[in-house]
Amino acid sequence: MQAFAQIPQPLSEPHCLIWYPGDPCDQLLQQYRQALELRQRQEWQNSAIAPFEKQIADQQKQIADQKAQIATLQSRIDSQTMDALRGEARTQAAMDGIGVIIGIGIAFVMVLAFFRKLTRPSPNATPERSRAASA
């Protein structure tokens, strides 16, 4: 923010008589008028610019506050996202574990059924044994 321009103290108006253009009194009056005009211009600029400078400063403060809020919200979103991903990974791991247990159970039942089928006597072998035993 710009500081207010320094406004020079008003000079006292020279009270002298101008005898010819360009004499020292004429030069003093011209300098006085220029200084007075410069002072009025600076006062006008300061009165016109001051509200805008205050508004700019307020908006810059508001922007800084909003940036801080955005950073806070972004970190909160990141934290919640990580928590959700961890929870989803735990759920997926639990489902994978259940699937493995069910798969092992089904494989065990299939191996058991296959083993029983192998150890069971075939129906064709039974009549031959009975004939062999009767003979």
- How do residues 67-90 score in pLDDT, each as one tens digit? 999 999 999 999 999 999 999 999
- Tell me what pLDDT residue 133 has: 58
Exposure letters 70-81 (e unless 16+ CB within 10 A, then b): eeeeeeeeeeee
Is residue 59 within 8 Å of 24, Cβ to Cβ? no
Name the residue among 61, 8, 60 with its Cα closest to residue 37: 8
Distance from the Cα of residue 10 to its chain's centroid: 53
- Quote the pLDDT of residue 134: 61
Q: Which residues contact 56 (CB under 8 A, 6 or more apart)?
A: 1
Q: Where are the alpha helices (DSSP H) in 1-135?
A: 24-119, 125-134
Domain ranges within the chain, ordered by starting residue: 24-120
Total residue count of the chain as it appears in this document: 135
Run means of pLDDT, 10 residues per run, the chain, 135 residues: 52 76 85 91 88 93 98 97 97 97 96 91 62 58
